[in-house]
Structures are given as structure tokens and as C-alpha cells.
């Protein structure tokens, strides 16, 4: 069995790029302090590049017309919701918000989220559009990963979010998988890959959302992997305003044997 894998969640410009002093080129859904998280992760990869056997990277990728984007919804006056608005199934049934695309499917999706206890449905700024600069890997981290490959290693990317009728926070499945869309269903291939390693380091953005839901999916769908996971706590930050939404996930993870370490405290 191989020893050391690193799984990086959504290290993309739209989450990690703070922009310049004038605010230009700032990521559409920039997570405060994410650039520093990625710098620490880059340093850690360079320190451990001989020992790391595998690097997997999830990429959040969306269409403009996505269920999490403002232009998917409108009110009775034709206005789109503001980013960070919450939309509930009752809001749709009461006519407060109307899906512009496939209304029946969209309402059922909201109901399934609520019934299954997944995160509430929030609207985000348009982000990580397929093929856009915002969807690209944050350059300082990309440089460290490229350096890691020099000795003949290969990184793996995992696309998520491409099906516009469901959120896809976690690395392993969409929030509500669609039985007709394989890209939303449990990623058995990624699970099988990670099963071949003794230790799996977890990093990326955002701690409150995509990292937390990746961990949640491990606990629910591949619990045998949980004791292999080491969360690199200083390589992730929360979306502002959601600092405590994932507290129960991280507590359960610790109870199931997931370890939590600072990059300064651990060498592989």
C-alpha cells in the first residue's frame, strides 16, 4: 500500500485570488485569507514533494445558468436574488422566487435538500464558469504542484458542479445526486484510489462548505477511510458569515478518527 495522498478541494482563482490593491481580478467568491492558505499549502507540498505519492484536486465548474447563481431565479417583478440570499421550497410555493429553468425539478430539489438535512440553498455570485480564468487553479499552488510532478508524478483532477440542477459541494457526490447523471453520483473511482493510501491529507476551500461536505461524504459513504484522513487546518478558511455551519461535521469527524494538524507540525 502506498503511503501519502493529498486531496485539495477547489483551489481556484474565484475562491483564492484577493485581487490587486485596486480590487481588480478579485475572485468572484473570494474566501478571506484563502491566498495565505494556498501559500502555506504550496510551501508544505514543496517540503514534502519526495514523500507525497498522489495529489488529487477537485475543481468547482459551473454554467452561468446554475441553480446556485442569481440568474437562475426571479421574483414577480423579474428581479434576480442578491448573492447570499437563502431560497426555501416554501419561497417557491408562495411565489416569492420562481425558477427560470425546469421549475418542477428545481422545486423538488429544494424539498430534497430540506428532507435530507443537507445545507440550506443559498445563492452565490456567478463563479467558476467552465473555461474561465476564475475556474483555474491559483497560480502559486499550481507552481508547487508542477514542481512536484518533475520526478515523473501525475496529479489527478476531479470535476464537480457541471450539472446545473444541483449543488456539488463535496468531492464525492452532488448534494442531491441525479440517477440519470453519473457526474452527480458517488465517485467510486476516487474512493478506490484513496483506499490505496495509508494517509490522506485534506486541504482547500472553503472550510465551511466544500471541504466540510467532502469530509461529511467520507463519513457517510466511505467511513473506513475516516481514520486515514488528516485535515491540514491552516490550509482552509470559512466563507464569511458561515463560520459555524460545519461545526457538527468536524466534531463528528474527530469522533470517527479524523486527525487535525497544522502544516508546521507535520512532515510526511
> Where do the structural domains in the chain lie, given as residue ranges?
2-65+136-265, 70-116
pLDDT at 266 over 90: no
Question: Using 50, 70 and 90 to split pLDDT, how confident is the model at 236?
Answer: very high
Within 10 angstroms of residue 152's Cβ, the number of other Cβ atoms is 5
pLDDT reported for residue 20:
83
pLDDT at 268: 65
Q: Is the pLDDT of residue 7 over 70?
A: yes
Contact between 261 and 232 (Cβ < 8 Å): yes
2-65+136-265 to CATH, choices 3.40.50.2300, 3.40.1410.10, 3.40.50.850, 3.50.50.60: 3.40.50.850
Which pTM does this prediction carry? 0.96
Angle, CA 60 vertex, CA 54 and CA 64 arms, to 5°: 160
Which helix (H) or strand (E) segment holds residue 190: the answer is helix 188-195
Q: Is 94 helix (H, G, I), strand (E, B) or coil?
A: coil
Please give the share of the chain, as a percent, with pLDDT higher than 90: 95
SS3 (DSSP) at 121:
coil
Amino acid at each position: 500500500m502506498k503511503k501519502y495522498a493529498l486531496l485539495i478541494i477547489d483551489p481556484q482563482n474565484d475562491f483564492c485570488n484577493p485581487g490587486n490593491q485596486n480590487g481588480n481580478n478579485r475572485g468572484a467568491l473570494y474566501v478571506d485569507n484563502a491566498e495565505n492558505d494556498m501559500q502555506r499549502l504550496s510551501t508544505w507540498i514543496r517540503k514534502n514533494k519526495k514523500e507525497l505519492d498522489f495529489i488529487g484536486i477537485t475543481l468547482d465548474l459551473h454554467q452561468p445558468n446554475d441553480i446556485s447563481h442569481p440568474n437562475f431565479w426571479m421574483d414577480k417583478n423579474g428581479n434576480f436574488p442578491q448573492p447570499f440570499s437563502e431560497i426555501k421550497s416554501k419561497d417557491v410555493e408562495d411565489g416569492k422566487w420562481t425558477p427560470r429553468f425546469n421549475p418542477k425539478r428545481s422545486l423538488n430539489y429544494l424539498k430534497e435538500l430540506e428532507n435530507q438535512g443537507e445545507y440550506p440553498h443559498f445563492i452565490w455570485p456567478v463563479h467558476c464558469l467552465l473555461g474561465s480564468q476564475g475556474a483555474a487553479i491559483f497560480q502559486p499552488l499550481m507552481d508547487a504542484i508542477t514542481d512536484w510532478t518533475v520526478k515523473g508524478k501525475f496529479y489527478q483532477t476531479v470535476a464537480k458542479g457541471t450539472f446545473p440542477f444541483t449543488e456539488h459541494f463535496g468531492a464525492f457526490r452532488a448534494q442531491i445526486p441525479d440517477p440519470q447523471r453519473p457526474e452527480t453520483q458517488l465517485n467510486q473511482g476516487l474512493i478506490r484510489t484513496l483506499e490505496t493510501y495509508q494517509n490522506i491529507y485534506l486541504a482547500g476551500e472553503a472550510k465551511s462548505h466544500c471541504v466540510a461536505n467532502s469530509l461529511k461524504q467520507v463519513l457517510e459513504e466511505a467511513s473506513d477511510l475516516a481514520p486515514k484522513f488528516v485535515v491540514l487546518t491552516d490550509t482552509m478558511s470559512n466563507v464569511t458569515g458561515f463560520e459555524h455551519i460545519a461545526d457538527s461535521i468536524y466534531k463528528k469527524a474527530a469522533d470517527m478518527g479524523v486527525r487535525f494538524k497544522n502544516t508546521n507540525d507535520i512532515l510526511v
